[in-house]
Amino acid sequence: MRIVAAVDRSDFADLVVGMVRRLAAAESTEVLLLNIAPREADVLGRQLSRKEVLDPVPEALRDRRELLDRLAGELQASGIRCSTLLLRGVPAKAIVQEASRWSADLIVVGSQGRGMLYRRVLGSVSEEVLAARRFPVLVVPRQVDA
């Protein structure tokens, strides 16, 4: 099984990785931990293509790199094969594209549980990933029993 687990910088990332740890008990499971940073303007003033953030990681994104490294270390300590990817882009679109590129069997995302007004104005990454209907999606709620 191949799982894409999208994490953000909130405490919620630990819940997502906890769920992945439970799902990835099988030895053949691989996990890609993915974090999507805001887009970066290119020559035309918009980021038009996928941008992988490579070393040296810009100062503004170091906390994202550190999060991915910490969470990957936890999964690897549990015996789970794990790689990481830090991208710049539109979160839901990038998650679905990477899952496709990676031939994922499942996408795991968290849900902050924000209200309807917030979702209408700013959107919800988990809802947008679900709406893509290209992969099975596990949405981990803010409250999850361990």
Residue 129 within any structural domain of the chain: yes
Q: What is the pLDDT of residue 117?
A: 43
Q: What integer pLDDT is reported at residue 114 of this predicted model?
A: 53
- Please name which of 95, 101, 109, 102 lies closest in space to residue 139, comparing C-alpha atoms: 109
For residue 47, what pLDDT is reported? 60
Range of the domain at 55: 2-141
Q: How far is CA 18 from CA 11, 15, 74, 107, in A?
A: 12, 5, 10, 14
Count of domains observed in the chain? 1
Q: Is residue 146 part of a domain?
A: no
In a domain, 66, yes or no: yes
CA distances from 133 to 70, 83, 119, 130 (A): 30, 24, 19, 6
- Label residues 16-33 b or e (16+ Cβ within 10 Å = b): bbebbbebbeeeebbbbb
Alpha-carbon span 137 to 118, nearest angstrom: 22
> Is the four-CA dihedral 53, 125, 18, 60 of positive or negative sign?
positive
Residue 14 belongs to a domain with what CATH number? 3.40.50.620
d(CA 24, CA 67) in angstroms, rounded, equals 19
Distance CA 146, CA 144 (A): 6
122 found inside a domain: yes
Q: Assess if residue 64 is contained within a domain.
A: yes
List, for the chain, all residue ranges whose pLDDT scores fall below the cut of 70. Answer: 26-27, 41-48, 112-123, 142-146
pTM summary value: 0.74
